[in-house]
Structure 1
Amino acid sequence: MTTTYKSRADVPLEEKWNLEDLYVSLQKWEEDLQAIDKTAVELKTFDGNIHNGTQLFQFLKKQEELSFKFNHVFAYAMLKVDEDTRDTASQSLIDRARALSVKVSSATSFFMPFLLGLNEETLKKYIAEEEGLAYFEEDLFESFRYKKHVLSKEQEAIMSQLGEALSAPANTYGMINNADIKFGEVTNDKGEKIELTRGMYSKRIEDEDREKRREAYRAYYKPYLQMKNSIASTLSAAIKNNVTTSKIRHYPSALEKGLFADNVPKAVYENVIQATKENIAPLHQYSQLRKEILGLDELRQYDMNVPLVSGVKQDIPFDKAYEVMLKALAPLGEDYIHTLKDFKKSRYFDVRETPGKRSGAYNLGVYGVHPFILLNHQDDLDSLFTLVHECGHGVHSKLSSQYQPQITARYSIFVAEVASTVNEVLLINYLLENEKDEKMKRHLLNHFIDKFRGTFFTQVMFAEFEKLTHEKAEQGEPLNVEIFNAIYETLLKEYYGEAIILDEEVKYGWARIPHFYRPFYVYKYATGFASAIHIATNLLEGKEDFLHSYLEFLKSGSSDYPLELLKKTGVDLTSQEPIKNSLVKFKELIEEFASL
């Protein structure tokens, strides 16, 4: 089956998402854009004119209505751009949406300083005199947590106007990475030179032919090396912007600013890194094991993804992948499975890789509509895992939107990674249990180990890279290609051990990581993975009451802080226990695989 299409028009309709669920026409999008613009002007008139509960309620109600509409406008523009990042018409939509975002932010920038200028008694008085404010009460008092980080009205207005400029490094990197980068050439099966694509790379780097892996690896890194100074400049600017904003807003550090919204103590972040490094030996053992099984004198980075069990490649078309997923996730109950069936029938997915399409995969939940899931499905085992992962996010979005009001429907990324990773653990368990062929079982075990390595260890390494680079910026030290290379190379050696020989390209790995433009985010993959192992273990034991508590967790949105929501499933991340338990699981997997 064809998995890479020359044009989006060639992709079957059922494998393209239906954006008409958002807007039936561009004219309707324009109408909402104009309506938001008008509402932003109206919101500005509340500045200096909130003197009682009724006026406060009117402002908040109008702001929420605007937010609902704006999320639709922005989602549509973003999804259109991601279909083809080269399309200038779509780029103009997102540019207009971003400009409007700045205008809205500017129009409402007075509110937080006003709110935090109130004393608690006045706010309670307003809530008592206006019944409608009960809906916003918890959110209003949550805002008081930010009191020392909110600036004066004039300063907030300036900060909101700087929004677009401060996000420029991330936007620039996005254009470099998705639209401008051209990878080097590789040799196809006919001996012809063709340009490498991301989707092709993910397959080539797993090829049993080492020369093909090496060729793909060098072709993939080629543009990153060519653009190393430009990318270092965007990353340095993004880090410095974050550090500067943290200082302006009186946070002790950029890290603590990054953790503040989730109310996560700094110790949780540090615990993840510390516990991982203290228990890193099995990962070093795995590198050595990989070298021995592949029969190599020198293990290189391009040898880290090739399956250690040969001759078991699976072709898993999208429809088959979907059926496997529905069976694997059966422990989540009939309602969960029914919801997933509807996802496919209603075209929530954009399945195939096409020229210019955004790389990777994501889920975008749109309140009042439904989730939209971007894939670049390659009909292989990795793509099956990606599908299951993104559907974890998708059902989480669907349930939170269904059971929470708009104000608490958007869940934190912190808990998001739990929902997606639970699904992956259930999938690997299903595949291992239902596989009769011993060779395939070893392959699946190897796949899970590599998944563990990528979702847990690599993300912890990235988290430490972010911590170290931000600390350098906070100390006024320079950030450039040489500094990024030195930090990244040192971490690679610490995490992967002496068995791996590092090529010149390896130390430029930081240049290809878009997550670094969303600071202090990747550690949540590791905490999510550790939490997921606990939850999936309980689900597989078939405890009815546990399934109920997990589904309630998925319906909770942001109705409580992430750590508190997780405690309802029995996971306490304020201790090192969940991290250590997952590392024990990894050690057991390595021992089992080594024994085979």
Structure 2
Amino acid sequence: MTVTYQSRADVPEIEKWRFEDLYVSTADWEKDYQFIETMLPKLKQFDGAIHDGASLYQYLSEKEEVSSKFNLVYVYGMLQADVDTRDTAAQSLVDRAKQLAVKMSAASSFFMPFLLSLEESTLKEYIEQESRLKYFEQDLFDSFRYKAHVLSKEKEEILSQLGEALSSPSHTFNMLNNADIKFGEVTKDDGEKVELTRGMYSKLIEDENRDKRREAYKAYYKPYLQLKNSIASTLASNIKTNVTLARLRNYPSALEKGLFGDMVPKEVYENLIMSTKANITPLHRYTALRKEKLAVEELRQYDLNVPLVKGVKLEISYDEAYETILKALAPLGEEYVSTLKTFKDTRYIDIRETPGKRSGAYNLGVYGVHPFVLLNHHDDLDSMFTMIHEFGHAMHSYYSSKHQPRISAGYSIFVAEVASTVNEVLLINYLLKNETDEMVRKHLLNHFIDQFRGTFFTQVMFAEFEKITHEMAEAGTPLNAEAFNNIYESLFRQYNGDEVVFDEEVKYGWSRIPHFYRPFYVYKYATGFASAIHIAEKLLAGDETTLACYLVFLRSGGSDYPLELLKKTGVDLTTSEPIADALKRFDQLVTEFAE
């Protein structure tokens, strides 16, 4: 039975983050905050005063010190706000940190235009003069890629001052979606009406009772339909802001701006969408199979998540899930498993769902401290998969921080999803291999197919939605609730097939997706999933070379561009092979399940 708490104060300390790992008290936080404020005018004084290797090194080293302290300042407030979004004191810390970020950006806005005004030969000369600049060399030369996209010093300063205002659509949606939203009511088994929570919804939408699923579905979407115009306005503003920034910075398109940092050609993004839609038939076959197995006259959206194998309800406690995860990850070696084992008792994980806590799950790696994993745990199979997914990120953060200097420890989201999804694939294979009950094995196979659909196909659909909406904004086409509805409804039909009969709520799916406020982000789930399928199957086959290469990949942080890091594991996303292989695997899973 899932443990539920009405207050965070009721949760055992061992199941909550230890904020003292960041700061013993808010007074210590305040000291770092004040230190950063005093350092910003000093950084600004370097404007026009960098003339040789020594002064360049002095600026970069002081900037790194300020940035590392700011990271702690921001994270401390953010984590506290996330465990209770209603906590005004925590929100105040976050707001102050955001204001400080704007000041930091303004103080250092001169540097990129200055750097790009240098000749490459001059920069090389500076590095020869000051050997300690070797530490910054890769970053400095990488910055030259941005030469065509950096504005004049004055314009950069103006943009940096607008930073907080430009992020307001995302902030507004997060407050609506996490703090203010009130879902409709659902009926408990005893007939009592209660307000739906996200945690309840994730359980009820999989309930075998179709009336319960329908009631939860309607209650969940109720506030999104009521707020459709407000949310459409925040999303449209976010898209237009992104398009405007891309134009100001001379990118050919918002998509290419989104891919530039990872040095991913737009063909990789477009190939992902085209390859998926060219091989969409197995997903349509699975939707038809779902309708047949559920024996419904009309298949609805609230029928797409219920397990097709009846009577299998896996109750898995948090402790049991943790032990299973450690066994499933054995192919990654003893060091990996023993390190992950320590995370439980060191309070790296905030486990329980409580009122006001941010929904979902994430890992946040903090250099020089440790990873922080947020969960909203329920004692079921989904929660175990969420755990192992976030543990993949956490171990990636742990290894990168341990083996890389600060400057290259941070890794791209593009490679992050590989580390999390390899873990998921190892878990499902472990469960299928060790389960003897045939009905449970069918249930697990069904679960893997649904995970595949959610992590791969749905994310590709989201990626196409982003591409279309940004292209509309670039063409000056109005973006509003109706436009978003039409695009989303059309895509949902293309990806899920003609078997699904649409309720009114289907077309409002766009209104509840936080990832749309981080443009061109979701496609990385799909490329990461395809890459992970390739790596995990080699690990399961006992390929020692792949294991060695994969651990090197985890330790590499951001020391190279994502596509190059993946090539070291044997995955080349500039070809269609990894996507085609993943889709072939999905076809096999559906065929096996149908039989």
2:559 alignment counterpart? 559
Q: Counterparts of 1:217 and 1:6 in 2: how far apart (Å)?
A: 24
Structure 1 segment 409-488 matched on structure 2, within 5 A: 409-488=409-488
2:200 alignment counterpart? 200
1:182 alignment counterpart? 182
RMSD value, Cα: 0.6
Unaligned runs of 5+ in 1: none
Q: Counterparts of 1:425 and 1:282 in 2: how far apart (Å)?
A: 20
Q: Counterparts of 1:13 and 1:406 in 2: how far apart (Å)?
A: 31
Which amino acid is 2:491 matched to? Answer: L
Are 1:10 and 2:10 counterparts? yes
* Residues 122-163 of structure 1: CA deviation (Å, up to 9, x unaligned): 111111101110100111000000000000000000010011
1:227 alignment counterpart? 227
2:590 alignment counterpart? 590
Deviation at 1:542, TM superposition (A): 1.2
1:388 alignment counterpart? 388
Q: Counterparts of 2:222 and 2:300 in 1: how far apart (Å)?
A: 17
Which amino acid is 1:23 matched to? Answer: Y
2:167 alignment counterpart? 167
SS state of the match for residue 363, structure 2? strand
Q: Counterparts of 1:208 and 1:350 in 2: how far apart (Å)?
A: 30
Q: Counterparts of 1:37 and 1:272 in 2: how far apart (Å)?
A: 45
SS state of the match for residue 49, structure 1? coil
1:77 alignment counterpart? 77
Contact 2:2 2:317 in 1 (8 A): no
1:154 alignment counterpart? 154
Which amino acid is 1:280 matched to? Answer: I
Q: Counterparts of 1:507 and 1:438 in 2: how far apart (Å)?
A: 38
Contact 2:563 2:573 in 1 (8 A): yes
Q: Counterparts of 2:491 and 2:196 in 1: how far apart (Å)?
A: 28
* TM, length-normalised to structure 1: 0.99
SS state of the match for residue 364, structure 2? strand
Q: Counterparts of 1:439 and 1:20 in 2: how far apart (Å)?
A: 46
Which amino acid is 2:572 matched to? Answer: D
Q: Counterparts of 2:573 and 2:463 in 1: how far apart (Å)?
A: 16
SS state of the match for residue 542, structure 1? coil
Deviation at 1:3, TM superposition (A): 2.7
Which amino acid is 1:483 matched to? Answer: A
Are 1:297 and 2:297 counterparts? yes
1:489 alignment counterpart? 489
SS state of the match for residue 507, structure 2? helix
Which amino acid is 1:395 matched to? Answer: M
SS state of the match for residue 267, structure 2? helix
2:401 alignment counterpart? 401
2:100 alignment counterpart? 100
* Residues 142-186 of structure 1: CA deviation (Å, up to 9, x unaligned): 000000000000000001001101100000000000000010000
1:341 alignment counterpart? 341
Q: Counterparts of 1:115 and 1:512 in 2: how far apart (Å)?
A: 41
Which amino acid is 2:531 matched to? Answer: S
* Residues 254-297 of structure 1: CA deviation (Å, up to 9, x unaligned): 00000000000000000000000000000000110000000000
Q: Counterparts of 1:534 and 1:450 in 2: how far apart (Å)?
A: 19
Q: Counterparts of 1:390 and 1:276 in 2: how far apart (Å)?
A: 26
Deviation at 1:2, TM superposition (A): 4.5
SS state of the match for residue 103, structure 2? helix
Which amino acid is 2:43 matched to? Answer: L
SS state of the match for residue 372, structure 2? strand
* Residues 30-70 of structure 1: CA deviation (Å, up to 9, x unaligned): 00000111111110110111111100000000000111111
2:357 alignment counterpart? 357
2:63 alignment counterpart? 63
Q: Counterparts of 1:88 and 1:529 in 2: how far apart (Å)?
A: 38
SS state of the match for residue 479, structure 1? coil
Q: Counterparts of 1:552 and 1:290 in 2: how far apart (Å)?
A: 41
Which amino acid is 1:511 matched to? Answer: S
Deviation at 1:545, TM superposition (A): 2.2
Contact 2:277 2:495 in 1 (8 A): yes
Deviation at 1:252, TM superposition (A): 0.2
Which amino acid is 1:105 matched to? Answer: S
1:505 alignment counterpart? 505
* Residues 448-490 of structure 1: CA deviation (Å, up to 9, x unaligned): 0000000000000000000000000000000000000000000
Contact 2:2 2:379 in 1 (8 A): no
SS state of the match for residue 223, structure 1? helix
Which amino acid is 2:166 matched to? Answer: L
Contact 2:367 2:401 in 1 (8 A): yes
Which amino acid is 2:78 matched to? Answer: M
* TM, length-normalised to structure 2: 1.00
1:109 alignment counterpart? 109
1:272 alignment counterpart? 272
Q: Counterparts of 1:61 and 1:128 in 2: how far apart (Å)?
A: 17
SS state of the match for residue 372, structure 1? strand
Q: Counterparts of 1:122 and 1:576 in 2: how far apart (Å)?
A: 41
Q: Counterparts of 1:6 and 1:463 in 2: how far apart (Å)?
A: 37
Q: Counterparts of 1:512 and 1:311 in 2: how far apart (Å)?
A: 31
Q: Counterparts of 2:13 and 2:379 in 1: how far apart (Å)?
A: 18
Deviation at 1:390, TM superposition (A): 0.1
Q: Counterparts of 1:451 and 1:544 in 2: how far apart (Å)?
A: 27
1:540 alignment counterpart? 540
2:515 alignment counterpart? 515
SS state of the match for residue 364, structure 1? strand
Deviation at 1:4, TM superposition (A): 2.5
- The runs of at least 4 aligned residues of structure 1 exceeding 6 Å deviation read none
Q: Counterparts of 2:284 and 2:545 in 1: how far apart (Å)?
A: 39
Q: Counterparts of 1:120 and 1:222 in 2: how far apart (Å)?
A: 57
1:377 alignment counterpart? 377
What fraction of aligned residue pairs are identical, expressed as a percent? 70
SS state of the match for residue 345, structure 1? coil
Which amino acid is 2:393 matched to? Answer: H
Q: Counterparts of 2:495 and 2:450 in 1: how far apart (Å)?
A: 14
- Number of aligned residues: 595
Deviation at 1:342, TM superposition (A): 1.2
Q: Counterparts of 1:283 and 1:401 in 2: how far apart (Å)?
A: 39
Contact 2:571 2:578 in 1 (8 A): yes
Q: Counterparts of 1:535 and 1:584 in 2: how far apart (Å)?
A: 15
Q: Counterparts of 1:536 and 1:203 in 2: how far apart (Å)?
A: 29
Q: Counterparts of 1:7 and 1:316 in 2: how far apart (Å)?
A: 23
SS state of the match for residue 343, structure 2? helix
Unaligned runs of 5+ in 2: none
1:367 alignment counterpart? 367
Q: Counterparts of 1:177 and 1:4 in 2: how far apart (Å)?
A: 21
Deviation at 1:16, TM superposition (A): 0.6
Q: Counterparts of 2:448 and 2:546 in 1: how far apart (Å)?
A: 25
* Residues 174-219 of structure 1: CA deviation (Å, up to 9, x unaligned): 0000000010000011100000000000000000000000000000
Q: Counterparts of 1:4 and 1:43 in 2: how far apart (Å)?
A: 49
Deviation at 1:102, TM superposition (A): 0.2
